[in-house]
Amino acid sequence: MGIVAVGSMAFDSIETPFGKVAKVLGGSANYFSLSASYFTKVHCVSVVGQDYPADHLKLLQDRGINTAGIKMESGRTFHWSGAYSYDMNEAKTLATELNVFEAFSPELPSEYKDTEYVFLGNISPDLQLKVLDQVKNPRFVAIDTMNFWISGAKDTLIKAISRCDALIINEGEIRQLTQQHNLIAAAQLIHQWGPQTVVVKRGEYGAVLFHNGKVFSIPGLPLAEVKDPTGAGDTFAGGFMGFIASKGSDKINESLLRQAVVFGNVMASFTVQDFGFANLLHLTPGEIEARFHKFVDLTTFSATAFSRS
């Protein structure tokens, strides 16, 4: 059971209109794993440099995350720096320093290889493929990416995407990847490449799911305070995949995928309320359930508008 998840463990330097932090812990593998850990067992694959705090693995282990696939190599940890303006929907990347990821070749611990669910988080598509190759019998594989790889490794990226069941991607990035402005046309092209499930993340505007010719969309939850959107997309993926994995692969249908998109939004809504992944360390099942019901309240309307008044 559980999910194999590969992605970055990073130092993030972030500027927003509400504050500035330097070299805080971040990276797609951290956000994804912590988020998914509320739903299922996560087997994490990543690499850190010698400058990474030793007690960080303990923090993941405390959330039940398997850290056997996280290597420490000599050299410096991945470093991303970015800035947000008042429009918190899209980050401007200031620098991407791959560091230890440049030479990283993941080897999955044997207990990872029988896992049915795989999340190929935002990292080099070469590494994403190397991880997928080592999973014996994957049932549901999702992939995320970002503009850095769309610009720099598009062919390999499309090869990786074509082997997946689901693509989870930002609105701006699916347009860049497909060269289609219209989301319906963009999703159709992705379906042709392979994935029959496409989830488009829209920041504060929520997310859209394209699956089997049907469209589902959920708005974001308006929040009184948004401090830092970094990691919201990976947190979304963690809620989405975690919920799916918790239900079992025989139940992956339209209804389950829709709920999974809602749980993605639920988890992301917690992350943005504080800097980094601070909010993902101490949630309770009750808080997650209450937030899910906030999304129900947010979106419910009566479908019986045409009854006589």
Site of interaction with its own copies (CB under 8 A): 86, 181-185, 202, 205-206, 208, 214-220, 222-226, 243, 246-248, 251, 255, 258-259, 261-263, 289, 292-293, 296-303, 305-306, 309
Amino acid at 190: I
Using the Cα atoms of residue 163, residue 165, residue 168 and residue 169 in order, give the sign of their dihedral. positive
Of the two residues 150 and 260, which places its CB atom closer to its own copies in the complex?
260
Q: How far is the CB of 258 from its own copies (least distance, A)?
A: 4
Asked whether 31 and 238 are in contact (CB, 8 A), the reply is yes
Amino acid at 27: G
Q: How far is the CB of 270 from its own copies (least distance, A)?
A: 16
Of the two residues 155 and 225, which places its CB atom closer to its own copies in the complex?
225
Identify the helix (H) or strand (E) that includes residue 47.
strand 42-48
Q: How far is the CB of 56 from its own copies (least distance, A)?
A: 31
In DSSP notation, 75-126 reads SPPEEEEEE--S-TTSPEEEEEE-GGGGG------GGGTT-SEEEE-SS-HH
Of the two residues 12 and 171, which places its CB atom closer to its own copies in the complex?
171
DSSP 194: S
Of the two residues 52 and 140, which places its CB atom closer to its own copies in the complex?
140
Q: How far is the CB of 67 from its own copies (least distance, A)?
A: 27
Of the two residues 135 and 208, which places its CB atom closer to its own copies in the complex?
208
Look at residue 187 and give its three-state secondary structure.
helix
Of the candidates 107, 212, 193, the one whose C-alpha atom is nearest the C-alpha of residue 145 is 193
Q: How far is the CB of 219 from its own copies (least distance, A)?
A: 4
